[in-house]
Amino acid sequence: MRILLIEDEPLIAQAIKTFLERYEFRIDWVASGELASEALASNPFDLVILDLGLPDKDGFDVLHDLRDENFELPVLILTAREATKNKIEGFSLGADDYLTKPFDMEELMARCRALIRRSHGRSKTILRHQGLELNLDQQSLTYKGEPVKLQQLAFRLLTILMERKGRVISKSDLMELLYGWDENAESNVLEVYVSQIRRKTYPSLIRTIRGIGYIIDEPETKPVS
């Protein structure tokens, strides 16, 4: 799950990045409103964490511009401003959640998970597909009741595809969702993880769309007779 973190305070940003990246999140960090707009215009994200006090723009302006372009991307506002007035303004501009500094990292993570889950149209922490059960809270996977061990990035790749079941995800989007900006991964890494997942579950789970990307197909519905 890829998060854009908009925060001008390096210590806070680094702490959030370090903490969340121990789990299923990839964090891309920008320190200004201008860079945030550029990032949002050209990259797929699952969530935005937005600090209100930015050096070049008010966070509310960033939120306003974002909502002009994208109604669905969840936004969590992170700020030292405690006034209720600010919260109301944030929600009226389309923020989905609000956390006041100082905050607890575990709480931030729980809220990030809940927001992303809600935006993907789910209320459960377990994704199911054809005998597979992927538990997001426990970061565990079973197939036909038997535990399946995957490498961390393979697990993340499977999560991305299961959350977007029925949609083809391009290789470049997958690479960005897996790695963000700051790692140079080998171009064949997706093939390696996909084949690991197929080997440990079943071969037809992930379908390759040649030259484009990958998809987990929705199960076929039985015709009604």
Question: Among residues 49 and 216, whose Cβ is nearest to Ca ion?
Answer: 49
Q: With CB under 5 A as the contact rule, which of the stretches 4-12, 22-30, 139-147, 209-217 interacts with Ca ion? A: 4-12
Q: How far is the CB of 96 from Ca ion (least distance, A)?
A: 20
Instruction: Retrieve residue 190's tokens.
Output: 């997706």
Question: Alpha-carbon distance 102 to 78, whole Å?
Answer: 9
Binding-site member from 24, 28, 51, 97 for Ca ion (CB under 5 A):
51
Nearest partner of 65 among 92, 31, 101, 40, judged by Cα? 40
Question: Among residues 65 and 217, whose Cβ is nearest to Ca ion?
Answer: 65
Residues 73/65, Cβ–Cβ less than 8 Å: no
3-state helix, strand, coil in the chain (%, to 5): 40, 20, 40
State yes or no: residue 61 binds Ca ion (CB under 5 A).
Answer: no
State yes or no: residue 8 binds Ca ion (CB under 5 A).
Answer: yes
Residues 26/17, Cβ–Cβ less than 8 Å: no
State yes or no: residue 78 binds Ca ion (CB under 5 A).
Answer: no
Binding-site member from 53, 94, 207, 208 for Ca ion (CB under 5 A):
53
* Closest residue to Ca ion, based on beta-carbon distance: 53
Q: How far is the CB of 5 from Ca ion (least distance, A)?
A: 12
- Binding-site ranges for Ca ion (CB under 5 A): 8, 51, 53
